[in-house]
């Protein structure tokens, strides 16, 4: 049997040569396609540099700012985005240099975590609207967007306005301050405006994430520019896309008010093709702006320096950083563009349109051809080593003779590969620096492996869909968002923080500060009394300011830990003891961080300082009533747990005494000895009996008008 092995290997090697020729021909055809795009781009750039750029002055930021603002809507579909949606919205509101806009965030009814985060932001920002999809998710992104579009049209009718454009963003996007001004400048002349999308800077060793840096830099820096130049249209990238009002109305009218196609996972690509069919004008809009970035030289080991770069205005985000999450995300793109796009649109349009459709779908072949080529190279290396070391002596005359047409074929492929590398290095290096430009070379191999896995998965999913009829749903990719450092005010005063959050405006803050001085009452209480601020937002701001976690309490928790802390201390320092996993320890719920004196007194009794958690002031009030009554199981339990002001609060609000006088009186107050707080204050001549009766009547008016503040 050993006599046949050399001949078997020789036969195998001979067939490898045939396979190599076939692959080389396919690769050359694909390379010619890429080289055509390169040639058109650079010819166009040279022509524009010699003519158009000399003839016309470039657009300036002042021209954007001088254009009257039109109403613009921003759509953000959110399924399981609870970890990034709040900082993204916070950053968006603080960054955008624009006033006339409204953010619509779509959530699903079975995604409580995301709903909670969006509602938290909605209470903070008046220009935020949450749209609830009235069925469980996930469905598909297009379904969520369609419900948002309906909410946008309803919002227009309710407020008597019209949105000139609607922008599509995802919950991980980082925006540039001039984005809305740029869209505003181009609306309503353009129907689909796509600005470049790119990755945020990654470390040199984050190779998978680095692939996105390379691919988007070249795709949005060159390929889309050529596509617009030749086909007069561009597909939407799914983020950083602005649709004109005319575009949405046109698409809605033909699809029963559902402009986004729910039958595809790449509704962004789909809508671009459909708008082109209507003859609407879509562009890739490039406007140079300055970016400030901090980068460490020498692969991150050098000193960090701030660089001011001039790059096209665009959207930045973090893309997946693991092999699995990357190919799963790209498989969704492949499903929608290659398979579903082919099924729904076929091969329509002009010759140029069909050329770009072919270019979009050639990945079905090239993703596998590239990996086969890698395997061939590896096998050729093994055979070469075997021949060199004399381990294999049997062979046939070589098929790959370099002095014939096959040699020319391989030489052309080598030149094409070199040009591909040069293009990738140039576009990556221009955006991210020369080190990342060089790293783009090995990352090309990783990118090809990701694309192979993505296309394999997409082919499997689509085949299964055709056989079983099982619908293709939103394949969730978990997202990252940059650190919030620098996204909030440097001045952490409560009023400044609330203005920064846009929870109140500056005029109301000044009025509240004036009343605070008159009444000597906490600023937050003034804002709530005047109806200028919701209590939840105040609690969140105080927690943020103090660096404490925000929580809520239940009656059961209060009663479970009521014996740990004396009632006098709970009332004096407005602190509720709550149980922990350790049966011998408690945590404290407070509406304001404890003062040093309070910590000292509590520590002297407990032997330690419990962890503090911020809760709403109304929860503290209700908790103190429960502790004072000793139980919640009595006929007045509903009143005891109502969100009703305490006597002390009403006395301060009435102007009968100040906060400092009340706190001083509470230092000597003991419920078991002194009875009710009102009678105690009268007995100490701090207030009169007439004043007490007046505030008791005020308290009675509140008694039945508030829901319980406790979680159920």
Query: By mean pLDDT, which of 146-155, 160-169, 590-599, 681-690 is the weakest?
Result: 681-690
Helix (H) and strand (E) counts for the chain?
31, 14
Q: What is the reported pLDDT for 657?
A: 67
Return d(Cα 378, Cα 384) in angstroms, integer: 10
Average pLDDT rounded to a whole number, residues 281-304 = 78
482: which 2 tokens?
A: 């940059």
d(CA 496, CA 706): 30
The tens digit of pLDDT for each residue in 512-532 reads: 877 776 666 677 777 877 778
Q: How far is CA 68 from the centre of its chain?
A: 29
Kind of pairing, strands 241-244 and 282-284?
unpaired
What is the model's pLDDT at position 484?
39
Angle of CA points 691, 696, 701, to nearest 5°? 130
Query: Each residue of 563-578: pLDDT tens digit?
Result: 888 888 888 788 999 9
What is the structure's pLDDT at 124? Answer: 81
- Residues 572-586: what's their mean pLDDT? 88
Domains of the chain: 63-323 (3.90.550.10), 548-702 (no CATH)
Work out the angle at residue 636's Cα, subtended by the Cα atoms of residues 632 and 641, and round it to the nearest 5 degrees: 55
pLDDT band at 393 (very low <50, low <70, confident <90, very high): low
User: What pLDDT is recorded for position 175?
Assistant: 92
188: cis peptide before it, omega within 30°? yes
Q: Angle at which helices 351-361 and 363-388 pack, to 10 degrees?
A: 50
pLDDT in tens, 414-452: 999 999 999 999 999 999 888 899 999 999 999 999 999
Question: How much is the pLDDT for 645?
Answer: 59
Q: Which residue do the tokens 């300011």 mark?
A: 545
Cβ(152)–Cβ(245) below 8 Å: no
Give yes or no for residue 205 having a pLDDT over 80. Answer: yes
CA distance 510 to 160: 31
């Amino acid at each position: 049997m050993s006599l046949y092995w050399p001949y078997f290997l020789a036969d195998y090697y001979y067939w490898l040569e045939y396979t190599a020729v076939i692959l080389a021909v396919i690769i050359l055809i694909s390379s010619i396609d890429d080289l055509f795009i390169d040639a058109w781009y650079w010819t166009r750039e040279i022509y524009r540099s010699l003519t158009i750029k000399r003839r016309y002055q470039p657009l300036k930021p002042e021209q954007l700012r001088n254009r009257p603002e039109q109403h613009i809507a921003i759509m953000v579909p959110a399924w399981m985005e609870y970890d990034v949606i709040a900082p993204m919205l916070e950053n968006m509101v603080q960054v955008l240099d624009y006033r006339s806009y409204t953010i619509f965030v779509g959530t699903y009814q079975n995604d409580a975590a995301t709903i909670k985060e969006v509602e938290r932001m909605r209470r903070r920002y008046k220009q935020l609207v949450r749209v609830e999809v009235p069925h469980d998710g996930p469905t598909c992104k297009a379904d969520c967007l369609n419900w948002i579009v309906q909410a946008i049209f309803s919002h227009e009718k309710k407020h008597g306005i019209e949105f000139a454009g609607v922008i599509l963003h995802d919950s991980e996007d980082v925006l540039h301050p001039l984005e809305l001004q740029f869209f505003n400048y181009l609306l309503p002349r353009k129907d689909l405006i796509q600005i470049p999308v790119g990755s945020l800077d990654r470390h040199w060793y984050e190779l998978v994430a680095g692939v996105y840096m390379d691919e988007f830099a070249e795709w949005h820096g060159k390929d889309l520019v050529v596509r617009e130049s030749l086909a007069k249209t561009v597909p939407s990238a799914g983020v950083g896309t602005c649709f004109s009002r005319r575009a949405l109305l046109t698409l809605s009218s033909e699809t029963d008010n559902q402009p986004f196609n729910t039958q595809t996972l790449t509704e962004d690509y789909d809508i671009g093709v459909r708008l082109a069919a209507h003859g609407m004008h879509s562009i890739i809009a490039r406007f140079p702006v300055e970016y400030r970035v901090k980068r460490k030289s020498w692969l991150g080991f050098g000193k960090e320096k701030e660089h001011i770069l001039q790059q096209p205005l665009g959207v930045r985000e973090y893309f997946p950083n693991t092999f699995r999450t990357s190919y799963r995300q790209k498989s969704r793109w492949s499903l929608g563009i290659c398979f579903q796009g082919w099924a729904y649109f076929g091969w329509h349009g002009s010759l140029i349109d069909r050329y770009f459709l072919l270019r979009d779908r050639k990945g079905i072949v090239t993703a596998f051809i590239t990996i086969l080529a890698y395997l061939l190279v590896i096998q050729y290396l093994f055979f070469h080593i075997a021949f060199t070391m004399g381990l294999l002596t049997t062979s046939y005359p070589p098929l790959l003779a370099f002095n014939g047409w096959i040699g020319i074929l391989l030489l052309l492929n080598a030149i094409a590969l070199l040009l591909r590398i040069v293009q990738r290095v140039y576009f990556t290096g221009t955006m991210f620096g020369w080190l990342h430009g060089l790293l783009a070379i090995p990352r090309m191999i990783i990118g090809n492996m990701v694309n192979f896995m993505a296309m394999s998965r997409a082919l499997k999913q689509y085949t299964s869909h055709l056989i079983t009829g099982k619908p293709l749903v939103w394949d969730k990719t978990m997202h990252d968002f940059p650190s919030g450092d620098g996204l909030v005010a440097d001045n952490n005063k409560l009023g400044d923080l609330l203005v920064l959050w846009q929870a109140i405006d500056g005029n109301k803050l000044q009025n509240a500060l004036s009343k605070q001085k008159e009444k000597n009452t906490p600023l937050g209480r003034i804002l709530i009394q005047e109806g200028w601020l919701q209590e939840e937002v105040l609690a969140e701001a105080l927690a943020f300011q103090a660096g404490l976690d925000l929580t809520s309490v239940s009656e059961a928790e209060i009663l479970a830990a009521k014996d740990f802390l004396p009632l006098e201390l709970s009332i004096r320092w407005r602190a509720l003891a709550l149980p922990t996993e350790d049966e011998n320890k408690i945590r404290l719920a407070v509406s304001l961080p404890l003062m040093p004196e309070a910590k000292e007194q509590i520590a002297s009794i407990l032997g330690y300082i419990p962890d503090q958690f911020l809760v709403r002031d109304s929860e503290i009030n209700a908790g103190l009533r429960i502790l004072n009554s000793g139980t919640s199981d009595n006929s007045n339990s509903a009143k005891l747990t109502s969100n009703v002001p305490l006597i002390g609060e009403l006395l301060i609000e009435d102007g009968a005494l100040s906060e400092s006088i009340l706190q001083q009186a509470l230092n000597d107050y003991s419920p078991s000895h002194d009875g009710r707080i009102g009678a105690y204050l009268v007995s100490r001549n701090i207030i009169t009996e007439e004043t007490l009766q007046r505030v008791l009547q005020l308290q009675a008016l509140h008694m039945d008008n508030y829901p319980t503040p406790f979680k159920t």
